[in-house]
Structure 1
Amino acid sequence: MITFDLNCSNGHQFEGWFASSADFDTQKSRGLLVCPTCQDGVIQKALSVPNVPRKGNQEAGSPASVAPAAAATNTDAPATEMPPAIVAELVQKLARAQSEMLDKSQWVGGNFAETARAIHYGEEPDRLIHGETSRDEAKALVEEGIDVAPLLFPVVPPSAKN
C-alpha cells in the first residue's frame, strides 16, 4: 500500500491509501476520488517530504515553527510522480533555502505570535523572525492579515543546540 497526502481544490488536506501509484491515477481519472470534508472531486497529490526520523534531542508533538512569508499552492498543477533522485534534490534545495532564510532571521522562541503582531503594528522594527506557536495562534495571525508560514523542516532552538 502507498499513502499519498492529497488536496482538494478548496484547500482541504487528507490522506489516501492506494495499491500503487497507477491505482491512484486510475481512481482519479474515473472520478472516484472525493474530498471527505466537502465532497469536491478535484483532487491532487500534495507535495510530501520523505519521512526522516526525529533526532534524539527533539520532542515529539512540539509546536510548529513558523516564519513570516507568503505561500501559495497551485491546485491546478497536474499530479505527476518524480524520480526519487529529483525529489531528494528538491528537498535538499528547500532545506538550504530554509537554512539561508533562518540565517537572516531572528529566533523569538515562544514569543512568535506576540513579536509578529508587534512588528505588524509598527511597535517593533520590521525584521524576519522565526519561532514557535500553536496552529490556532498562527491561524489567528493570518486572519489578522499577518503573513506567516510553517517551516518545512524542524528547527532546533538555539538554546537546545549541542
Structure 2
Amino acid sequence: MIRYALACDHDHPFEAWFGSSSDYDDQAARGLVECPFCGSTAVSKQIMAPAVAGTKKRDATPDLGKIQTMMMQAAREVRSHVEANFDYVGDTFAREARDIHEGRSEKREIYGEATPAEVRALKEDGVPCAALPPALVDPAKAN
C-alpha cells in the first residue's frame, strides 16, 4: 500500500491510499481519483516526505521508574490544584455534593471525605464525584 498527498485543481488537499504507484496512475488516467470536497477529477500528487522505518534499535522496555515518577507528580499537581481552588467541606462531602447537585446549595467545587457507601449512593443517584489522589510525600522533602 502507498499513501499519496493529493490536491485537486481547486487546491483542496487530501490523502488517498493505493495498492501501488501504478494503481494510482491507472485510476487517475481513467478519472477515478476525485476530490472528496468538490468532486473534481483533475487531481495531482503533492510533495510529501516518505515514511521510512529507522534503522536505530529502540528499547521496547518502558522506563517504569520514569513513568511512576511522572504519575506521582501528576497526582500531586491534581491534589494541589483541588486544595488551592475547591472548598473543603470535611465529612459533610456527601450531603453537600447532593445539595449542590439538587440545587439546594450554591454551585461550587468542593472536596472532603465520604465513606465508600456514601460515594456509591452519590454515583447511583447521578451525583458527579471522584476520588482525590492521596496526599503523597514530595520526594524532595523525604528523608
* TM-score (normalizing by structure 2): 0.49
Please say which structure displays the higher CA radius of gyration: 2
Structure of higher RCO (CA pairs closer than 8 Å, 6+ residues apart): 1
* TM-score (normalizing by structure 1): 0.43
